[in-house]
Chains A and B, each alone.
Chain A
Amino acid sequence: MLMMELYIALFLLSVVTFLSGKNAKVYSLAVSGAFLLIFLFYFSYRYWGLSAVHGTLQTIPISPAYGFNFSLQSSGLSAVLVVIATFVIFAAIFVSSGNYSQVFYGLIMLTMSGLIGLLLSANLLFFYIFWEVVLVPVYFLIGLYGNRRSDTVSLKFFVYTHIGSVLMLLSFFSLYTYYFYETNGSFSMSISSLMNPALFETMPVFWRGFVFFGLFVAFLVKLPSFPLHSWLPDSYETAPYPVTIVLAGALSIMGGYGFFGILLPVVKVIPQGFLLALIVLGIISLIYFSLSAMSQLSMKRMMAYASAAAMGFVTISFGSGAIELQNSFSPSLYNLAFAGGMYQVLVHGLIMAMIFSSLYYVTKSTGKEMIGSLGGIFRGAPVISSFLLVGLLASLGLPGMAGFVAEFSVLAGIYGEIGMWILLIIFAMLITASYHIWMAQRTLFGPYNEVLGNIHDAGASSSAILTVMMLAIIFLGVFPHSVFELFTNYASGVVIP
């Protein structure tokens, strides 16, 4: 009921950050923290019974005759993703050192409100608008505050993602047009009316392919997936750490939400060719990214590839879950696969936020980012190193932490369809485990690298935020019931077999 007012308040408050002068960090911290709590209580109250698939729809009509109106509706999935996105951005602001200007914090707050708008929007027009609105501030964040060749990298980031999103816009248009033909004369841009399988039945095969091609390209670029990923390593490495946390933690949610939020209702009509391509791309990106992460020299770049590899699970789970649904396997399989994919999106954001914040503190205290120049810092900075170790273990999917729940449910869900191809995924998981542990051994353990001089450990505030993240990851790993049920109910509610 008050979702619309909440969102407008958030948007205005984030615009105000630009004028908040010296104490911009404190201001944005307060706003994002407050909204984190508000969303947490609002959604836990809203979805307590774990049954509701969609929240109430609130609309501000802009040009209703043509179906363009700003409407918000939360669903089981988007509720959780909103909370995680807010938390990750809160952590990014918390981690950032004080000397950034208010423009920096304003841009981060704009990204947050754009992302939350995207997750909650129930109108494809505003889904596209928020998709772009999130990109522009990130482009400026990387361009203005990045190190080394930040202008070329930020441009590459923006143009790459922009090409993906404009193709998505064309798909929305064709949906809009075919809705016009289907209901001979009425217009609508709302997700519920455009994204239902009935509309796709009458659409000629070519146009169905055209629609799904545009949507898949946009989501795969943002995920990122194998062929469309070349913006990732440079922008993660060039961006300052808080922006990398936002990129890795919050923006990867967009790709995941694209698949599970937008495409899930029409999963029955997606041509099988696309789905097979999705699975193959997922497996390739899993193996390809883990292997190229293995021989990276800088910790940050290695973790960028690790984040990309982890998102391979999302495409695999969506692709094979959809094929299982179309070949009418039992719902217990594809529901688990979809829920596993959603859980991976949720958990990946959290884990990457923790890893990059602990990497930030390691770099801040040792001044070094390359694996070669670090060694045995466990002795000098035991607190950060143990948090980094926990992050690495969570990212390689150690049971007891959230990563395992997601990866296992994906594996269990998709085996019915994938069969022995699962060995490739297992091979990639092994590679992931080995380079994570190798990096931990190379940087944290082993003999102390005297060149570093004496390094100081992290302060109380840093271990506070890292402890909160660690507890969240362990809680989601040991007691995933509440969130996981939400996802399975959402999946079974939305997917029309």
Chain B
Amino acid sequence: MTAVVTGIDALQYFIPEFILGITGFAILAAGMFGSSRKVNASITFVSLAASFVYTLTMFNHPVYVLSSTFLLDNFGLYFMLLFLAAGMLITFPAIINISAKSEIFFSLLLFTTVGMIIAASSSNLIVLFVSFEAVSTGTYVMTAFHKTERTLEASTKYFFTGAVSTSIIVLGISYFYEATGTFYLSPSPAIISSGAMLVSLILLVIGFGFKLAIFPMHQWAIDTYDGSENSVSAFLSTGSKLVAFMIMLRVFVSGFYGDANDFYIIFTLLAIVTMTYGNFSALSETNLKRLLAYSSVAQAGYLILVFSAAGYAIGISDTNLMEYAVAAGMIYSLVYIFMKGGAFLAMNLSSTKKVDVSDLSGLNKKSPAAALSLSILLLSLAGIPFTGGFLGKFFLFLALIEVKLWWLAVIAILNSAVSVFYYLRVILVMYRGEPSENIKVSSLGVIPLVVCAAAVIILGVYFALFSTVLGFVGGLFR
């Protein structure tokens, strides 16, 4: 029932990409005539908003385009909205961090978002790989933007591990082709050689696991989030991480539908190790950005719990339980953008590059709004009710229990209980003691925080979201 569209009218499905691409070049051109940072930022924001609105209209009629290499279904469109939202989130705060040559930064941002959108609109491995590479290359350059020691070191580490993982992905894809004979990810490929399938599964898990920063492949993420500019690390930890998550959803849940039991075991082991490592190493971390980095590793651990639940559900061939798990993952990623993005943007509140927890002490006296919204974001990261984080974790653990993986749920929920320790420690610091001298409060710094906090609160109460998102999951099995 997915219509196949060919010829000229297929172009209408690529309008979001065109909007972004054209504005990217327009900004580059404007840059030559010396347009100011604010102008570039607002142009970027307008174009992102425009494609956001257009994507909204494309819902509910899935279609194959360009001889079915592209598939525009609700699942992909949902993630497109997420990536555009991530982009919009960091455009204005970027003005604080990006001083010189801002037009390059904003055009890079737009082109990376184009890469993300293309990744979201296809279920063909080649297209996924190419768009994944577009995103990675764009983010390598964004990380190294100011060419200071810190950003350079961050981007070198990011680049080298990224490049190694790209080659692993390509090898994985080649073995996938050898095993299934096609690049299309559909739930029922005829498995030619299961040995190759297993090898490709292992390689793809390492390759994509790198971008999601799961345990063995997470080390670059800690240094890169710490080193790069605040809005860049915000974009990295939300946008590019969720691209990897979406691609993994497509690849594993529908591509490797056949041997779900294997990836259930692999992902459970990885999830347990990642959560525990992320949570425990964040406990005594005093550098706030590194603390958020470790917490994003831990959050990645929660994300891949979706694969264990979905894999186990496929194992016992109960598809709607698998759909609950995927829907839970989708909600978690939506909430994750605002929580993690907002938290990293909060680092703009402190003038120092190496933000220490004590730098934010007494924030309540300087700007109560910032203090309140950052506490809401941290409470949401900890999973306290009435916040979005709770909604995400609620459905995630519900999916785990519905699949009867009670022991995994207990490990995960104890991890999230331990994580409460370091989130609340930061909140107390903000509300006690005298305001530290290197707090600088600017409207650009505070407004995005308040927006994120509001979004998190709204999501926290909006339980009906689960049924709408559950409707989108169908797209995964076209």
Judged by CB atoms under 8 Å, the answer to whether A and B touch is: yes
**Which A residues are within 8 Å of any B CB, using their own CB?**
62-63, 65-66, 68, 128-130, 132-133, 136, 139-140, 143-144, 151, 154-155, 158-159, 162-163, 166-167, 169-170, 173-174, 176-177, 180, 207, 210
With A170-B401, A170-B406 in contact, do A139 and B417 touch (Cβ < 8 Å)? no
Residues from chain B with a CB closer than 8 A to the CB of A136 are 379, 384
Interface flag for B397 (CB, 8 Å): yes
- Determine the distance from Cα of A139 to Cα of B467 in the docked complex, in whole angstroms: 34
Interface centre among A66, A133, A166 (most CB of B within 10 A): A166
Asked if B416 contacts A166 (CB within 8 A), the reply is yes
20 contacts between A and B (CB under 8 A): A62-B461, A68-B463, A128-B385, A129-B390, A136-B379, A140-B431, A144-B428, A144-B431, A155-B428, A163-B414, A163-B417, A166-B416, A167-B413, A169-B397, A170-B406, A170-B409, A170-B410, A173-B397, A173-B398, A177-B402
Interface flag for B190 (CB, 8 Å): no
Asked if A129 contacts B463 (CB within 8 A), the reply is no
- Determine the distance from Cα of A365 to Cα of B431 in the docked complex, in whole angstroms: 30
- Determine the distance from Cα of A155 to Cα of B423 in the docked complex, in whole angstroms: 10
Question: Which residue of B409, B416, B464 contacts A63 across the interface (Cβ within 8 Å)?
Answer: B464
- Determine the distance from Cα of A128 to Cα of B413 in the docked complex, in whole angstroms: 14
Residues from chain B with a CB closer than 8 A to the CB of A62 are 461, 463-464
With A65-B467, A66-B467, A173-B398 in contact, do A159 and B421 touch (Cβ < 8 Å)? yes
- Determine the distance from Cα of A133 to Cα of B404 in the docked complex, in whole angstroms: 28
Asked if A159 contacts B384 (CB within 8 A), the reply is no
How far does the Cβ of A96 sit from chain B's closest Cβ, in whole Å? 19
Question: Nearest chain-A residue to B401 (Cβ)?
Answer: A173
- Determine the distance from Cα of A291 to Cα of B20 in the docked complex, in whole angstroms: 73
Asked if A167 contacts B410 (CB within 8 A), the reply is yes
With A63-B464, A140-B431 in contact, do A155 and B417 touch (Cβ < 8 Å)? no
- Determine the distance from Cα of A170 to Cα of B354 in the docked complex, in whole angstroms: 39
- Determine the distance from Cα of A159 to Cα of B431 in the docked complex, in whole angstroms: 19
Asked if B428 contacts A143 (CB within 8 A), the reply is yes
Residues from chain B with a CB closer than 8 A to the CB of A130 are 385
A-B complex: 7 closest residue pairs judged by Cβ atoms:
A173-B401, A129-B385, A63-B464, A166-B413, A163-B417, A63-B463, A68-B463
- Determine the distance from Cα of A63 to Cα of B404 in the docked complex, in whole angstroms: 23
Interface flag for B424 (CB, 8 Å): yes
Residues from chain B with a CB closer than 8 A to the CB of A151 are 425, 428, 432
Residues from chain B with a CB closer than 8 A to the CB of A68 are 463
Residues from chain B with a CB closer than 8 A to the CB of A63 are 463-464, 466-467
Asked if A159 contacts B385 (CB within 8 A), the reply is no
Question: Nearest chain-A residue to B467 (Cβ)?
Answer: A65
- Determine the distance from Cα of A66 to Cα of B215 in the docked complex, in whole angstroms: 34
Interface flag for B386 (CB, 8 Å): yes
Residues from chain A with a CB closer than 8 A to the CB of B413 are 166-167, 169-170
Question: Nearest chain-A residue to B422 (Cβ)?
Answer: A155
Interface flag for B84 (CB, 8 Å): no
How far does the Cβ of B401 sit from chain A's closest Cβ, in whole Å? 4
How far does the Cβ of B108 sit from chain A's closest Cβ, in whole Å? 40
Interface flag for B222 (CB, 8 Å): no
- Determine the distance from Cα of A162 to Cα of B413 in the docked complex, in whole angstroms: 10
How far does the Cβ of B308 sit from chain A's closest Cβ, in whole Å? 16
Question: Nearest chain-B residue to A129 (Cβ)?
Answer: B385
Interface flag for B418 (CB, 8 Å): yes
- Determine the distance from Cα of A136 to Cα of B378 in the docked complex, in whole angstroms: 12
Asked if A177 contacts B401 (CB within 8 A), the reply is yes
Interface flag for B292 (CB, 8 Å): no
**Which B residues are within 8 Å of any A CB, using their own CB?**
379, 384-386, 390, 394, 397-398, 401-402, 404, 406, 409-410, 413-414, 416-418, 420-421, 424-425, 428, 431-432, 461, 463-464, 466-467
Asked if B401 contacts A162 (CB within 8 A), the reply is no
Question: Which residue of A133, A139, A170 contacts B397 across the interface (Cβ within 8 Å)?
Answer: A170
- Determine the distance from Cα of A62 to Cα of B428 in the docked complex, in whole angstroms: 33
- Determine the distance from Cα of A176 to Cα of B463 in the docked complex, in whole angstroms: 16
Residues from chain B with a CB closer than 8 A to the CB of A167 are 410, 413
Asked if A173 contacts B409 (CB within 8 A), the reply is yes
Residues from chain A with a CB closer than 8 A to the CB of B463 are 62-63, 66, 68
With A132-B385, A155-B424, A155-B425 in contact, do A162 and B417 touch (Cβ < 8 Å)? yes
Asked if B406 contacts A180 (CB within 8 A), the reply is no
Residues from chain B with a CB closer than 8 A to the CB of A176 are 398, 401-402
- Determine the distance from Cα of A174 to Cα of B424 in the docked complex, in whole angstroms: 29
Asked if A166 contacts B402 (CB within 8 A), the reply is no
A-B contacts besides A155-B425, A173-B397, A177-B402, 4 pairs, CB < 8 Å: A63-B463, A132-B385, A155-B428, A159-B418
How far does the Cβ of A462 sit from chain B's closest Cβ, in whole Å? 30
Question: Which residue of B397, B420, B464 contacts A162 across the interface (Cβ within 8 Å)?
Answer: B420
Residues from chain A with a CB closer than 8 A to the CB of B431 are 140, 143-144
- Determine the distance from Cα of A207 to Cα of B409 in the docked complex, in whole angstroms: 13
With A159-B418, A159-B420 in contact, do A174 and B401 touch (Cβ < 8 Å)? yes
Residues from chain B with a CB closer than 8 A to the CB of A155 are 421, 424-425, 428
Residues from chain A with a CB closer than 8 A to the CB of B428 are 140, 143-144, 151, 154-155
- Determine the distance from Cα of A466 to Cα of B420 in the docked complex, in whole angstroms: 38
Asked if A139 contacts B424 (CB within 8 A), the reply is yes
Question: Which residue of B379, B402, B420, B467 contacts A180 across the interface (Cβ within 8 Å)?
Answer: B402
Asked if B467 contacts A174 (CB within 8 A), the reply is no
Question: Nearest chain-B residue to A176 (Cβ)?
Answer: B398
- Determine the distance from Cα of A166 to Cα of B383 in the docked complex, in whole angstroms: 10
Question: Nearest chain-B residue to A143 (Cβ)?
Answer: B428
How far does the Cβ of B385 sit from chain A's closest Cβ, in whole Å? 4
Interface centre among B385, B414, B463, B466 (most CB of A within 10 A): B385
- Determine the distance from Cα of A133 to Cα of B384 in the docked complex, in whole angstroms: 8
Question: Nearest chain-B residue to A140 (Cβ)?
Answer: B431
- Determine the distance from Cα of A391 to Cα of B461 in the docked complex, in whole angstroms: 43
- Determine the distance from Cα of A163 to Cα of B279 in the docked complex, in whole angstroms: 15
Question: Which residue of A66, A133, A144, A170 contacts B386 across the interface (Cβ within 8 Å)?
Answer: A133
Residues from chain A with a CB closer than 8 A to the CB of B466 are 63, 66
Residues from chain A with a CB closer than 8 A to the CB of B467 are 63, 65-66
- Determine the distance from Cα of A129 to Cα of B404 in the docked complex, in whole angstroms: 23
Question: Nearest chain-B residue to A181 (Cβ)?
Answer: B402
Asked if A166 contacts B406 (CB within 8 A), the reply is no
How far does the Cβ of A362 sit from chain B's closest Cβ, in whole Å? 29
- Determine the distance from Cα of A151 to Cα of B425 in the docked complex, in whole angstroms: 8
How far does the Cβ of A379 sit from chain B's closest Cβ, in whole Å? 41
Asked if B384 contacts A132 (CB within 8 A), the reply is yes
Residues from chain A with a CB closer than 8 A to the CB of B410 are 167, 170
How far does the Cβ of A419 sit from chain B's closest Cβ, in whole Å? 37
Asked if A166 contacts B414 (CB within 8 A), the reply is yes
How far does the Cβ of A410 sit from chain B's closest Cβ, in whole Å? 33
Residues from chain A with a CB closer than 8 A to the CB of B464 are 62-63
Residues from chain A with a CB closer than 8 A to the CB of B384 are 132, 136
How far does the Cβ of B16 sit from chain A's closest Cβ, in whole Å? 30
- Determine the distance from Cα of A62 to Cα of B394 in the docked complex, in whole angstroms: 15
How far does the Cβ of B133 sit from chain A's closest Cβ, in whole Å? 40
- Determine the distance from Cα of A66 to Cα of B431 in the docked complex, in whole angstroms: 38
Residues from chain B with a CB closer than 8 A to the CB of A66 are 463, 466-467
Residues from chain A with a CB closer than 8 A to the CB of B425 are 151, 155
With A139-B424, A158-B424, A173-B398 in contact, do A210 and B417 touch (Cβ < 8 Å)? no
- Determine the distance from Cα of A144 to Cα of B401 in the docked complex, in whole angstroms: 37
Residues from chain B with a CB closer than 8 A to the CB of A173 are 397-398, 401-402, 409
Question: Which residue of B414, B420, B461 contacts A158 across the interface (Cβ within 8 Å)?
Answer: B420
Interface centre among A66, A140, A176 (most CB of B within 10 A): A66
Residues from chain A with a CB closer than 8 A to the CB of B424 are 139, 155, 158
Residues from chain A with a CB closer than 8 A to the CB of B416 are 166
Residues from chain B with a CB closer than 8 A to the CB of A166 are 413-414, 416-417
Residues from chain A with a CB closer than 8 A to the CB of B404 are 177
- Determine the distance from Cα of A167 to Cα of B386 in the docked complex, in whole angstroms: 18
How far does the Cβ of B463 sit from chain A's closest Cβ, in whole Å? 4
How far does the Cβ of A104 sit from chain B's closest Cβ, in whole Å? 12
